[in-house]
A and B are shown apart, each in its own frame.
Chain A
C-alpha cells in the first residue's frame, strides 16, 4: 500500500519477472543481445539514482525481488509474466521453478502466470493442461515474437493459437497477456501489428486480453481496437518510466488511453526488473497532466487508484482490503 496526502492506494504490479540472463545461461549471442537491449532500456529511461550495475541486472534472485517489490516498492500483489525465450537461453529467460516456488511461499503477494507457445501443437496443448493444474493458472503471458526453429513468431489468430485459447477458456485461464512491444519478428508484415489481438478478442469475448506495453509503438492501432473490443485492456509495462524521462509524452499516452479506453481497462506495471516499482508509484501518484495540454482532462485520484491496483485486482480476483477501493457513485 502507498499513502500520500491522506489517500491510500492498493498496488498491484501486473507485470514482473524473475529472469536469469547470466552468461552461463546464454545459449548464443542473441541471449547477450537481448539482455543488453533490456539494460539499455533500463539505462535510457531510469533516473540516475535508480540505475543497477549490469551484473545485478543479469540475475537478482527471489530475495531481492521480494525486497524491491514489497519492502521498498509499496506493492501489495505482483503477477509474474514470464518470457521463455528458449532460443536464446538454456534454461529459459523467465525462471519458472524459482518464480513458482516463490509464489507458493507468498500466495497472498504473488500470482504465477505461465507462458505457452502454440507452435508446440498437440504436445504443448497437453503440457498446458498439466501446467494449468500444477500452477493453478489464472493467466498466461504470450510472447508472439519468440523464435522457434526457422520461425520467428506466431499470431494470435493462427489456428493452433485458437485451439490453445479454447483450452485456456475451458481451464479458467481467462487473462491473456500479449507482448506487443518492441519485437523481433522479421516477416514482411508489420511486426508490431495488433490486428491479431482484435480477431482473438472478438472470437473469445469471455476472456480478457491485456496488451502489454499498450501497443507501443502502435498506440493508435491499439486504441482503435480497444475502443471497439470491451475485453481488451492496456498494460503499462515500458510506458510507465516515461513519467521520468519524457513526462509530456507520458501525459499523452495516459491521455489517449483514458480517452479511447476508459479508467477501468488500464493496469500499472513496473516490468520489474526493467524498472523498480517504488519510484514509478511515487511519481504516478504525484503526476498531473501539464496545464497547457488542454486536449486532455485532468487525471483524478480515483483514476490513479484504479490504474495502480484496483483494475488488475478485479481481473484476478485479488481481495482489496476495506477502505482501499474507490467509492462508487450512487446509481441515480
Chain B
C-alpha cells in the first residue's frame, strides 16, 4: 500500500515535471506556472489523467489545442505511462478538442475544414516574438547597468557582455529554440533569422522589441488575472512570472518581491 502510494506520488511528480516543458506559446511561460494544470491523477496501474483549464471559455482554440496536444506528447514520452488522457475543461471547444486528443486526430483532424494548415507556422511566429522580448529585456538590463552605453553601442554587444542575470539565460533559451547561435561571441541584437541590424536602425528595432515585450507581459498578467477570477483558488497554483523580477528590481537584489501593483 505505502509502496504504491509512494510510487504514485513520484509518478505524479514526474508528470508535473513533464508538463513544465509545455509552454503557452503566446505568453511564453510553462502551463504549470500559469496555473493551467487543474489536476494530475495517476491510478495504481499507471493510467494518467491530466485536466487543463484556461482563463476564459473563448481562449483561442488553436492555442488551446497546441497546449493540450503538447501536454499529451510530453506525458506519453514518459517511460512509465501507458494510458494518457488529457482533458481540457470549460472551453467552448472542449468536446471537439477532447475527442480529437483521445483519437490522436491532430489539429486538422480535430477542427476539419476550419483548419487549413498545421500549427508549426503559428508556433514559429510566437517563438520569434518571445525571442524579441527576451532580447529587449536583456539589453534593457545592460543599459541600466552601464550608464555610459548608448543604444547605438548595442550593435557590438555579444552574449558574453550581458550581465549574468535571469534575462541572459532566458535569451539563450529563446535563441536555441529558434536555432540561433548561443556562443559567447554571438551578437545579441539580431533579427528573427540571426542577422544583425544596421547600426542606424538600432533605436527603432529596440523600440519595437520593447513593444513586443510590453505586449507579452501584458497578456500574461491579463490571462493570469482572468484565471484567478474564473477559478477562485487557482492563484495558489501560479508561480510569479520570472521576468518580472528582473524588470522591477535592481540586478543586485533579484530575489526581492517585485513592485506591488493593485492586482485584483
**A residues lining the B interface (CB < 8 Å):** 29-30, 33-34, 36-37, 40-41, 43-46, 48, 150, 152, 182-192, 216-220, 223-224, 242, 244-249, 252-253, 256, 259-260, 295
Contacts and interface: CB of A to CB of B under 8 A. Distances in A.
B225 A45 contact: yes
19 contacts: A33-B57, A33-B58, A34-B57, A44-B264, A48-B264, A152-B114, A183-B60, A185-B60, A186-B60, A186-B61, A188-B107, A191-B62, A220-B129, A220-B212, A223-B208, A246-B218, A246-B263, A256-B210, A259-B207
Contacts of B114: 150, 152, 186-187
Given A37-B58, A217-B222, A247 B262 contact: yes
Contacts of B43: none
B122 interface: yes
B218 A217 contact: yes
B93 A186 contact: yes
Interface in B199-221: 207-208, 210-212, 214-215, 217-219, 221
B23 interface: no
B176 to A, nearest CB: 23
Nearest to A43: B229
A187 B211 contact: no
Contact of B116 (A29, A40, A184, A187): A187
Contacts of A295: 210
Nearest to A39: B229
B125 A190 contact: yes
A119 to B, nearest CB: 14
A205 to B, nearest CB: 24
Question: Interface size class for chain B?
Answer: 35 or more
Scoring A34, A189, A224 by chain B CB atoms within 10 A of each residue's CB, the highest score goes to A189
B14 interface: no
Contact of A40 (B93, B218, B229): B229
Contact of A256 (B55, B116, B214, B264): B214
Given A44-B225, A249-B217, A219 B62 contact: no
Interface in B91-115: 92-93, 107, 111, 113-115
Contacts of A217: 26, 215, 218-219, 222
Given A33-B92, A249-B221, 6 more contacts: A30-B57, A188-B107, A216-B222, A219-B215, A223-B211, A246-B218
A232 to B, nearest CB: 15
Nearest to A185: B60
Contacts of A253: 214, 218
A47 to B, nearest CB: 8
Contacts of B208: 220, 223-224
B74 interface: no
B263 A245 contact: yes
B170 interface: no
A188 B226 CA distance: 24
B58 A34 contact: yes
Contact of A150 (B58, B113, B116, B207): B113
Interface in B164-190: none
A186 B62 contact: yes
B230 A40 contact: yes
A264 B259 CA distance: 32
B56 interface: yes
A49 B69 CA distance: 41
A248 B248 CA distance: 11
Contact of A36 (B57, B212, B215, B261): B57
A192 B119 CA distance: 15
Contact of B62 (A40, A43, A188): A188
Contacts of B217: 249
B225 A245 contact: yes
A192 B27 CA distance: 14
A87 to B, nearest CB: 11
Nearest to A192: B60
Nearest to B129: A220
B214 A219 contact: yes
B91 to A, nearest CB: 9
B81 to A, nearest CB: 28
B161 interface: no
Contacts of B229: 40, 43-44
A45 B225 CA distance: 8
Contact of B56 (A40, A43, A186, A223): A40
